[in-house]
A and B are shown apart, each in its own frame.
Chain A
């Protein structure tokens, strides 16, 4: 069996229909359990209760970057192999990625005010994340602006390639410039920098929850796009008669 079989919309609808209930159940259990567990963790000796924001901020930021990278892969598949389902999957992922980026920006600002003394700083990571959010908005606007779906898929795929620079920058900005307010990786394995287990395990759970939530939303949204495309094709066929 080849992965390219899923480029067939009928095969994709059948398989995604079977996977979807498991993804929804996993997302609900992991996200709710992780957030409740995170909420019940003890206060940090430096950050106080604001440490609980990490259970939203880190999974959302992680997904914001990785959703764009997933869109990059599916856009490349569209550009190279012209599989419609891959282009529709990229389109379906974008609003979820934009919401994840917005959550990361908002929770970061809310945490930053008491901890850094400012809501916002033109720090390399924060700035590249804001640009990534603008790329998400631009990507969605471009899909809506171009009438021909194949042309829209071509143009948005190229935009996705360009935006990938900022997706990677937002991940590695701290390492590249080594300046600004934002600290390094929250889940560092370096000696002395490792997060305490009491915070690390609920964080792993919320990360799994956000990932499964994305999978569930991606499957539903891609199925929606396939149905819309099918309806448009049927209407176009009737118009030609």
Chain B
């Protein structure tokens, strides 16, 4: 069991906020890349 003592909320808030921000930028990066690839492929396939 991980012991966090009286600062459990503080540590959880720091990790929670950071994970959310990192997940957000990763997700946005992947989605934007997939969209750009799809749009370019569709255009090139149309000739």
Chain A residues packing against B (C-beta within 8 Å): 35, 39-40, 43, 48-50, 52-53, 56-57, 60, 95-96, 99, 102-103, 106-107, 110-111, 113-114, 213, 217, 220-221, 223-224, 227-228, 230-231, 234-235
Known: A49-B4, A220-B33, A227-B36. Contact between A99 and B11, CB under 8 A? Answer: no
Q: Nearest Cβ distance between residue A175 and chain B, in whole angstroms?
A: 26
Q: Nearest Cβ distance between residue A240 and chain B, in whole angstroms?
A: 16
A60–B18 CB distance below 8 A: yes
Which among A43, A49, A106, A224 is the interface contact of B17 at CB below 8 angstroms? Answer: A106
Chain B residues packing against A (C-beta within 8 Å): 2-8, 10-11, 13-15, 17-18, 21-22, 24-26, 28-30, 32-33, 36-37, 39-40, 43-44
A56–B18 CB distance below 8 A: yes
A113 nearest in chain B by CB position:
B10
A114–B17 CB distance below 8 A: no
Chain A neighbourhood of B8, CB < 8 A: 49
B17–A221 CB distance below 8 A: no
Main secondary structure of the interface of B (DSSP, over half): helix
Which among A39, A99, A106, A113 is the interface contact of B24 at CB below 8 angstroms? Answer: A99
Which among A35, A95, A111, A234 is the interface contact of B10 at CB below 8 angstroms? Answer: A111
A48–B22 CB distance below 8 A: no
Q: How far is the CA of A50 from the CA of B7 in the complex (A)?
A: 6
Chain B neighbourhood of A221, CB < 8 A: 29, 32-33
Which among B13, B25, B29, B36 is the interface contact of A110 at CB below 8 angstroms? Answer: B13
Chain B neighbourhood of A52, CB < 8 A: 4, 11, 14-15
In the complex, besides A224-B33, A228-B36, 19 extra interface pairs with C-beta distance below 8 angstroms are A39-B15, A40-B2, A48-B7, A53-B14, A103-B17, A103-B18, A106-B17, A110-B13, A111-B14, A113-B10, A213-B22, A221-B32, A224-B32, A224-B37, A227-B40, A230-B40, A231-B36, A231-B39, A231-B40
A49–B5 CB distance below 8 A: yes
Which among B5, B15, B17, B36 is the interface contact of A48 at CB below 8 angstroms? Answer: B5
Q: How far is the CA of A230 from the CA of B26 in the complex (A)?
A: 23
B25–A96 CB distance below 8 A: yes
B17–A107 CB distance below 8 A: yes
Q: How far is the CA of A111 from the CA of B33 in the complex (A)?
A: 35
Q: Nearest Cβ distance between residue B38 and chain A, in whole angstroms?
A: 10
B36–A50 CB distance below 8 A: no
B26 nearest in chain A by CB position:
A217
Q: How far is the CA of A114 from the CA of B32 in the complex (A)?
A: 39
Q: How far is the CA of A69 from the CA of B16 in the complex (A)?
A: 28
A227–B7 CB distance below 8 A: no
Q: Nearest Cβ distance between residue A170 and chain B, in whole angstroms?
A: 19
